[in-house]
Amino acid sequence: MQRVKQLALAVLVAACGGSAPALVSPPLPPPFVPTAFAVKVSGAGRPVIFIPGLASPGSVWDGTVAHLAGTKQVHVLTLAGFAGQPPIKPPFLLTVHDQIVQYIHANHLDHPIIVGHSLGGMMALWLAETNSGDLGGVVDVEGLPFFPAVADSKVTEAQGAAFGQQMHDKLVKTPPVQFAATVKQFLASMRSQISRPTRRRSPSS
C-alpha cells in the first residue's frame, strides 16, 4: 500500500513539471467600499468617526481634527449627495446607518467613538440604540431623535412623518442655486445669533 502511495505521488510530481504542486489561496473578499459616504482617515490611536450635519462636508470637522493633533485615528465622513459626493437611491438614512456599521466591521475598528452634528448627531444616537456593542460611546452635537418635536412636543409619529415628507418634497423641487442661497442665509443668521452678546440681568431685575 505504501508503495502505491509513493508511485501516485511520483506521477503527480511529474505531471506538475517535476515540482510539488503550489498551494492556491482562496481569493480574498473584495474590500468594503461605501456608497453612502466618502471617508478621510488620518492620525493614529483610538478610532473616532465624525459625521457632519445636513448639507455639510466632512471638512466642517477640520478644526476638531486639528485639535486632536493626530492622537486619535480619525475617520471623517462626507455623506452622499453633499460636497460633490454622488447621491444614492433611497432610503438614504437607513443606508448610511447600515454602511457605517459595515465600515466599522470591515475595518475592524475597536469600539469607535461616534461624533455627529445635527443630522450626524441623530445618526450617532441611532447607532447607539441599535449597535451599542460595537461602539465606545457617542457625542451628539445638536442632533435630535425626533426633530418635529422641537416645534410641538405633542406631535405624533404620523404627523412627524407627514412633516418630513413635506420637507423632502420641497427640497427636491428647490433648484441647487436657490438651495445654496437658502443655506448661506440660514448660516448667516445662526452666526449672528452666536456672536450676539448675551444681556445679563441685574440682581434687582
- Which stretches in the chain have pLDDT values below 70? 1-30, 194-205
Could you give the CA distance from residue 32 to residue 25 in angstroms, rounded to a whole number? 20
pLDDT computed for residue 78 by the predictor: 98
% residues pLDDT > 90 (the chain): 62
Could you give the CA distance from residue 85 to residue 51 in angstroms, rounded to a whole number? 14
Could you give the CA distance from residue 163 to residue 144 in angstroms, rounded to a whole number? 15
pLDDT tens figures, 82-92 = 999 999 999 99
Length of the chain equals: 205
Enter the C-alpha cell of residue 174: 428647490
CB 134 within 8 A of CB 111: yes
Could you give the CA distance from residue 70 to residue 43 in angstroms, rounded to a whole number? 4
**Buried b / exposed e across 130-157, counting CB within 10 Å, b at 16+?**
ebeebbeebebeebeeebbeeeeeebee
Could you give the CA distance from residue 150 to residue 143 in angstroms, rounded to a whole number? 11
Beta-carbon contacts of 138 under 8 Å, excluding residues fewer than 6 positions away, are 113, 114, 115, 116, 124, 125, 127, 128
Q: Looking at the domain 32-145, which fold is it? A: Rossmann fold (3.40.50)
pLDDT computed for residue 11 by the predictor: 45
Q: Is the pTM of this model over 0.95?
A: no
CA 200 to chain centre: 40
* Strands of 46-51's sheet in order across: 37-42, 72-79, 46-51, 113-117, 137-141
